[in-house]
Structure 1
Amino acid sequence: MTPGNEQDSSRRNWIKNSTLAAAAILAAPQIHARETALAVPKARRIPIAVSTYSYWHFQEQKYPIEKVIEDAAKLGFDGVEILHRQMDNETVPYLNKLKRQAFDAGLSLPMLSIHQSFVQPKAEDRKKDVEHTIRCINLATQLGIPCIRMNTGSWRTKKRDAAYYKDGQEPPIEGFTDKDAVKWCIDSYGECLVAAEKAGVILAIENHWGLSSNIDYLLEIYKPLASSPAMGMNVDTGNFVGDPYPQFERLAPYATIVQAKTYYGGGHYYDLNLDYKRIASILRKANFNGYVSLEMEGKEEPSVAVPKSLKLLREVLS
């Protein structure tokens, strides 16, 4: 190669290398920004279920759970919470049918909501509800449901009218105290948790009126049992006496699952105007990532009120 050609070749290599270096410098900020964006964790999409209770408020004629599953899939819910009292029966074929229908529709079954009470002075009465709970644990296992909604129970010494839902005050049965009831709940839950741990099912205690209207009592029951892997908490946005937000903020860090009430058309039992933007903010602060299950408790037709409720929850929880 002649000296002139050598110089031309060196010049061409220098220009090529300089161009590549300049391109690398220009691209570096874009690459860094892209890598940074990938490194920043994205907010997880909170799954939203709908309770079958949203379609049936204990009227004489039950609303079929199969229809709720069908509707939930069409509307874009992530799951269906089953109300035990709404089930047609407890046979294995029926349970398997519901499980298969939900699976085919791409829906989960996150919770089975049952009714029981451990606020009962007679040990034999509490034992019956312990046995009922264990039977429901077996139902949940068959359905593939990982969580059961549980209550504390109540003294049933006061009529469930509008005044009751405002203050939640309920005097104990004569000769007993609320502290007695707290102990009964702890002991009875302890029995149920043995079966729940074996089955891998969570028992989620709810602020569901009665004794649990008092958040201090609810936590007094929950905390001694919280070391069990089967113990959980279901926080209901609509079941607070007085200002709901400070109480919701207290319970949110313990929440396994949340039930979100709406009251379109006026509530069947009481009305609340809940600020779901504020509720969503509290959940984010508590790093809650579990299911939120809609309980539409209003008088408006579910075909109208349930889609509106889903839209509201999607907007605030996104």
Structure 2
Amino acid sequence: MDKKRRNILRGLAIAPALFASHHQSASSKTDNLAQHRVQYSVNAYSFNSLLRSGEMTFFDMMEFAAEIGLNAVDLTGYYFPSYPEIPSNSELFPLKRRALELGLNISWTGIRNDFVNPDADSRKADRDLIKKWLTVSSNLGASIMRVFTGKHSYDGFTRDEVKNWLVEEYKICAGYGEESGVIVGLQNHNEFLFQSDEIIDILKRVDSEWFGLILDIGSLNAVNPYDEIEKLAPYANYWFIKEHVFPNGIKTEVDMKKLAPIIRNQGYQGYISFESLSDGDPKQIVSSMFIAFRTAYEKL
């Protein structure tokens, strides 16, 4: 057999192994990307004063989000002029269309509610409000709607009794969520449920795929908030990143290099939303938060 022919045959023998190796490498890279695919959003409260004064609109907010490379926006309900009444579809649908034009999703909405209130009629009124706004969420194409616990005085009742109210109300609301195709997301908003174990207990007791957690990293006051965040991470349907955490109640700038691995190690694939609560230019602050987190995350 001549040398040229031997080289050709050797090449043919090696080629499948090389192809398999390349395919496995490409497949592994694709799997890795799929396991850690996240989307970025911004919460309307970052622009609270601007939206309330009329200096900014939801359309302006969407254009800002698209400009800095976010994937979505969170259109909180109480910035609609009609709130608590629901807006008309003629107001909602132009927002939905503009989001499409900008390549954005409208990932969530949110309302105010208080299920800590001992008055059952008041709780029912808030429950009815949630049901109405779940319809708004659905019409906008949002996949999740934020609700709170509330922080009403519950003098004369124990914390366990209040937790029973919460579970009862959230179970009913989860049913409304299933009807509208929108997950009801509890934001741990530093109001009644302060510890990760309490929050997990409520989630387990409600026990519905239509009730989940919007993990607010800025509302976990503990010796080490990152430990609390890590405990809650497996339950998060949505992440809410603020610029500060509060170890031992002390306001401290969030360490994106500590936070990013917690999210990535869960294989989380959903939305991560940024919210600024600081004085200053919210556009600049949100942009800086986004860059800092994305840089930390992509280096892992």
Measured in 2, the distance between the counterparts of 1:291 and 1:126 equals 29
* Aligned residue number for residue 53 of structure 2: 61
Percent identical residues:
25
Task: Please tell me whether residue 92 in structure 1 is matched to residue 92 in structure 2.
Answer: no
Task: Tell me the residue number matched to 2:214.
Answer: 234
Shift of 1:60: 4.9
Tell me what 1:195 maps to. Answer: 176
How many residue pairs match? The answer is: 284
User: Which deviations, in whole Å up to 9, do the C-alpha atoms of 1:242-293 show, x marking residues without a partner?
Assistant: 2211110110000000001026xxxxxx843111111111112222111000
Return the alpha-carbon distance in structure 1 between the equivalents of residues 270 and 48 of structure 2.
24
- How do 1:88-167 residues align onto structure 2 when only pairs under 5 Å count? 88-89=81-82, 90-156=87-153
Matched residue of 1:210: which SS?
coil
Larger Rg: 1
TM-score w.r.t. the length of structure 2 is 0.88
2:283 aligned residue (299, 303, 306): 303
Q: Tell me which residue corresponds to 2:12.
A: 24
Is 1:186 equivalent to 2:178 in the alignment? no
In 1, are the aligned partners of 2:37 and 2:270 still within 8 Å (CA)?
no
Could you tell me how far 1:85 is from its partner in structure 2? 1.2
Aligned to 1:164: none
Letter in 1 for 2:182: V
Distance 1:45 1:249 in 2: 19
TM-score (norm: length of structure 1): 0.83
Contact 1:111/1:146 (8 A) holds in 2: yes
**2:42 — aligned with what?**
50
Q: What RMSD in Å do the two structures reach over aligned CA positions?
A: 2.1
In 2, Cα distance between the equivalents of 1:284 and 1:314?
Answer: 11
CA offset at residue 233 of structure 1? 0.7
Instruction: Find the aligned partners of 2:235 and 2:71 in 1 and give their Cα distance.
Output: 22
2:247 matched residue in structure 1: none
Distance 1:58 1:311 in 2: 23
| Shift >4 Å, 4+ stretches | 25-29, 57-60
- Using the alignment, how far apart are the partners of 1:108 and 1:152 within structure 2? 27
> SS where residue 219 of structure 2 aligns?
coil
Q: 1:293 aligns with which of 243, 254, 273?
A: 273
Which residue number corresponds to residue 27 of structure 2?
Answer: 39
Shift of 1:58: 8.2
The answer to whether 1:76 aligns with 2:64 is: no
1:29 Cα deviation (Å)?
5.3
Does the 8 Å contact 2:131/2:176 carry over to 1?
yes
Q: CA offset at residue 28 of structure 1?
A: 5.4
Q: Any gaps of 5 or more consecutive residues in structure 2?
A: 245-249
